[in-house]
Amino acid sequence: MSKLRVSIVGASGLVGECLIKALLGHPRVELKLLVSEHAAGRAIGELLPALAGECELKTVSATPAEVAQASDVVFCAKKGAETFQWVPALLDGGAKVIDIGGEFRFRDAAVYETWYKEPHACKDLLKQTVWGLPELCREEIRAAKLVGNPGCYVTSAVLALAPFVAQGLVEDAGLIVDSYSGLSGAGRQFNAKLSNLFVDVDENLRAYGVGNHKHTPEIEQGLARAAGRDLKATFVPHLAPLDRGILTTAFARPKPGLTTEKALAALKDFHTPARAPFVRVRAAVGDVNVRDVAFTNYCDVSAQVVERSGQLVVASALDNLVKGAAGQALQNMNLMSGFEETLGLKGRSL
């Protein structure tokens, strides 16, 4: 049986490293090219010591045409202008593309331009782009040639709130998403400023991007897709003294009759094993924590109705590098390639 030829553009970043680990354990994949312009020619095990003895490939400098010719599927982990150069050329070369960044997450280029503060150079491709949250877009992903992998915060927020907005169990107004992310959410940046991060974050917590974080419109887009109508949400992200992981606590006003028992039932009805093989519904909000999902592709969720204040509280936790990025991208690759959705993602530490 021939294997799927897979390459990674931007292989030396944190998501690239996680992707390599995941792909090395995938029984139907042959890892072909690891593209890294700034480190071309270096053994990946030298560049990323965690991969020493696991992968013998060297990073390369290659053109999009060369990468497409060698690949059936390409994961693109570039940003901005570089993404807009790579993605159309890869598609023209016959490869399917899963874009890890934010450039192909929106159907409306104006939304991207407003929130990312730069022109969208591939507007013509947006009509064929599929937003890659499998729990909501599975059948579209199966037929896609270009998938925009969702943001990590977005995945945690939408998986938490989608069951309630989809089933009309909460009011549209007053949706709040309060999230805490580990440092790896910022990626691996090759600059001296990284030396200050521990000093800045250890024994500290802070909010950032309040009202203008780039994931805000994508959260609203995902919730609108689930609800079938436009929705607005207040998103407050925080930087937490963690290596990896996201804990999200979302708040909504329940409609009359919603109890904790019914809220948990709504989560289970929406996130069935067939529809959401990587979403686990926990018995209580206090049972949802980052440690249980770290290095896995799972997202744990739970809910509670606080009757005294008339508030629905929904918690979710995931690993921002796995279900929030590389693992979800691999989930999308499986769907696009006709494989079992969970192949290569269960029973392993990523």
Q: Do residues 267 and 294 touch, judged by C-beta distance below 8 A? A: no
- Active site (catalytic) residues: 152
Q: Which of 43, 48, 81, 329 is nearest to 190 (CA)?
A: 48
Q: Which of 312, 284, 289 is nearest to 299 (CA)?
A: 289
State the Cα torsion 276-277-280-281 to the nearest 10°: 40
* Residue 87: count of CB within 10 angstroms of its CB: 27
Query: Element (H or E) spanning 332, and its range?
Result: helix 327-336
Spatial CB neighbours of 295, under 8 Å, sequence gap ≥ 6 = 244, 319, 322, 349, 350
**Phi, psi of 261, rounded to the nearest 5 degrees:** -60, -45
As separate numbers, helices (DSSP H) first and strands (DSSP E) second, the chain gives 11, 14
Q: Which of 305, 323, 177, 342 is nearest to 245 (CA)?
A: 323
CA dist 237 and 245 (Å) reads: 13
Ramachandran bin of 179, using left for φ above 0, alpha for ψ from -120 to 50, beta for the remaining angles: beta
101 CA to centre of own chain: 9
